[in-house]
């Protein structure tokens, strides 16, 4: 089975493209989680059978071998309450909660690896690593929700999975051979440090309402507000010096509605497109919050045209067109990913949705911020960031502190 152009881009643009990780904390009866999830996972792999296969050596196809996925059962000698339900993300022992990859001597290379760790008396942690060349975040969340529906006895599934990657156009730039890194390429290492910023929902709502009222518009999203504040305040905090520099904000947009004909509801592959906003550090630091929000909204409004241009091979003019999937990697480029709306927070194995969902640790070489949700029952946004060096952390937190009040 062939992969889409988006999957090929994932494969070609990273040295180890296969692994994306997440884990969620779910409260449920002890002794139920592992057996329930294992059985439901087996059932879900019937309609989602490509995920039980293996990538071919060139990464452009899947052999539907039916070899299955990797499932690990583990136990912890403490309660979730005793570790605060891992609300402090910096304290999470990822190596213990995410499934270890099978040793290469076993000859097993699954596309999906899952670990369920039971804690004493009050619940479990589900850890997942996923082959990101197969599914984007929406697709992975759809698969987990399918598992949770089987766990709750729902059959048939609410959403029927659709594999057909031929729905996705194949632009010329999608060939992995066109996207290999140059010889002896060395990724920069900025020694980025992690910090989390919690923003109450009422504060975000106030800022959205203020923007809508003052600019006489009908809509402003939480993501636009949070991304604007983050980008502006980070830029002010990273010691740019007297010379103006080119700053970029990059986030990935779901393009399922933009494909012609539209993708079926159950499509669970990769279908995203990078939205890149470029401006000078002078303009960004001097701009009001409203002006930065407008930059983001204008970039989103250009998305349909830019996406259509990209998929139209006749407009690409060979390989001279700048690749939107290869923005410059540098300290002046900030990547922001929105996790709160992917669907991970709705996964319910029968004991309610997870307390919270956390991605794997970010990179020390690429400035990244992930927009997630606060642990239940608190409502709001948790910004998980790896976007500043240690020397810039204090001014960054001071600059952005007003949004966390």
**Structural domain boundaries enclosing 382:** 192-340+347-404
pLDDT, residue 227, reads 97
β-bridge partners, 112: 130
Domain count across the chain: 2
pLDDT, residue 6, reads 47
Domain holding 284: CATH number?
Answer: 3.30.559.10
pLDDT, residue 260, reads 84
Same domain, 231 and 206: yes
Same domain, 245 and 367: yes
Is it the case that residue 174 has pLDDT exceeding 60?
no
Residue 45 lies in a domain: yes
pLDDT, residue 11, reads 36
Report the run of H or E that residue 202 belongs to, with start and end: helix 201-215
β-bridge partners, 25: 125, 356
Same domain, 50 and 110: yes
Q: Which residues does 157 contact at the CB level (< 8 Å), separation at least 6?
A: 47, 146, 149, 150
Same domain, 154 and 220: no
Residue 183 lies in a domain: no
- The Cα–Cα gap between 190 and 31 comes to 44
pLDDT, residue 205, reads 96
pLDDT, residue 313, reads 58
Of 52-56, 313-317, 384-388, least confident by mean pLDDT is: 313-317
Range picked from 10-14, 25-29, 381-385 for highest mean pLDDT: 381-385
pLDDT, residue 403, reads 64
Residue 187 lies in a domain: no
pLDDT, residue 8, reads 41
Is it the case that residue 323 has pLDDT exceeding 90?
no
Rg (CA), the chain: 21
- The Cα–Cα gap between 361 and 132 comes to 16
Same domain, 196 and 172: no
Same domain, 334 and 374: yes
> pLDDT > 70: what percent of the chain?
83
Same domain, 30 and 154: yes
Residue 184 lies in a domain: no
Is it the case that residue 134 has pLDDT exceeding 90?
no
Residues annotated as part of the active site: 132, 348
Same domain, 122 and 214: no
pLDDT, residue 85, reads 87
Verdict on whether the full-model pTM lies above 0.85: yes
pLDDT, residue 177, reads 47
- Comparing 286 with 164, the larger pLDDT belongs to 286
Residue 268 lies in a domain: yes
Give the pLDDT band (50/70/90) at residue 14.
very low
Say if strands 272-280 and 246-254 run parallel, antiparallel, or are unpaired. Answer: antiparallel
pLDDT digits (tens, 9 = 90+) for 181-219: 566 666 677 889 999 999 999 999 999 999 999 999 999
Q: Which residues does 124 contact at the CB level (< 8 Å), separation at least 6?
A: 26, 28, 30, 33, 34, 116, 117, 118
pLDDT, residue 283, reads 95
- Comparing 169 with 125, the larger pLDDT belongs to 125
Is it the case that residue 39 has pLDDT exceeding 80?
yes
pLDDT, residue 321, reads 60
pLDDT digits (tens, 9 = 90+) for 78-133: 999 899 888 888 888 888 998 988 887 787 889 999 999 999 987 899 999 888 88
- Comparing 170 with 375, the larger pLDDT belongs to 375
Residue 15 lies in a domain: yes
pLDDT, residue 363, reads 75
Closest-CA residue to 144 (of 49, 48, 66, 55): 48
Say if strands 112-119 and 70-75 run parallel, antiparallel, or are unpaired. Answer: parallel
Task: Decide: 343 and 352 in contact? Cβ < 8 Å.
Answer: no
Same domain, 22 and 62: yes
pLDDT digits (tens, 9 = 90+) for 336-377: 999 989 999 999 998 888 888 888 777 778 899 999 999 888
Of 2-6, 58-62, 82-86, least confident by mean pLDDT is: 2-6
Mean pLDDT, rounded, of the chain: 85
Give the pLDDT band (50/70/90) at residue 170.
low
Give the pLDDT band (50/70/90) at residue 301.
very high
pLDDT, residue 401, reads 84
Last residue of a domain, one of 149, 178, 207: 178
pLDDT digits (tens, 9 = 90+) for 220-252: 999 999 999 999 999 999 987 788 899 999 999
Is it the case that residue 320 has pLDDT exceeding 60?
no
Same domain, 238 and 108: no
């Amino acid at each position: 089975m062939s992969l889409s152009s988006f999957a090929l881009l994932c494969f070609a643009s990273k040295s180890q493209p296969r692994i994306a990780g997440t884990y969620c904390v779910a409260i449920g009866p002890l002794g139920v989680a592992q057996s329930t999830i294992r059985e439901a996972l087996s059932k879900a792999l019937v309609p989602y059978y490509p995920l039980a296969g293996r990538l071919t050596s060139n990464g452009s196809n899947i052999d539907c071998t039916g070899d299955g996925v990797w499932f690990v059962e583990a136990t912890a000698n403490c309660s979730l309450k005793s570790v605060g339900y891992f609300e402090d993300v910096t304290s999470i022992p990822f190596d213990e909660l995410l499934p270890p990859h099978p040793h290469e001597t076993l000859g097993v290379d699954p596309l999906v690896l899952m670990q369920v760790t039971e804690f004493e008396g009050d619940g479990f942690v589900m850890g997942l690593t996923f082959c990101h060349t197969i599914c984007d975040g929406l697709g992975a969340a759809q698969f987990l929700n399918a598992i949770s529906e089987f766990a709750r006895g729902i059959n048939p599934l609410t959403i029927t999975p659709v594999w057909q990657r031929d729905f996705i156009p194949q632009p010329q730039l999608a060939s992995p051979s066109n996207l290999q890194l140059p010889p002896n390429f060395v990724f920069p290492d900025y020694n980025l440090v992690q910090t989390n910023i919690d923003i109450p929902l009422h504060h975000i709502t106030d800022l959205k309402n203020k923007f809508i009222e003052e600019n006489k518009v009908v809509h402003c999203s939480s993501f636009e507000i949070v991304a604007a504040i983050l980008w502006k305040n980070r830029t002010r905090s990273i010691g740019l010096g007297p010379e103006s520099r080119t700053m970029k904000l990059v986030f990935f947009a779901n393009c399922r509605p933009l494909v012609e004909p539209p993708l079926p509801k159950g499509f669970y592959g990769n279908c995203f497109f990078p939205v890149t906003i470029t401006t000078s550090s002078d303009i960004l630091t001097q701009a009001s919050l409203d002006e930065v929000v407008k930059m983001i909204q204008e970039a989103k409004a250009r998305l349909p045209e830019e996406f259509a241009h990209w998929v139209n091979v006749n407009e690409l003019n060979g390989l001279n067109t700048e690749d939107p999937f290869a923005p410059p990697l540098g300290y002046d480029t900030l990547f922001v990913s929105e996790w709160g709306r992917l669907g991970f927070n709705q996964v319910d194995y029968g004991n309610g949705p997870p307390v919270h969902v956390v991605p794997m640790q970010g990179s020390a070489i690429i400035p990244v911020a992930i927009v997630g949700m606060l642990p239940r029952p608190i409502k709001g946004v948790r910004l998980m960031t790896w976007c500043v060096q240690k020397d810039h952390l204090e001014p960054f937190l001071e600059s952005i502190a007003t949004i966390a009040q």
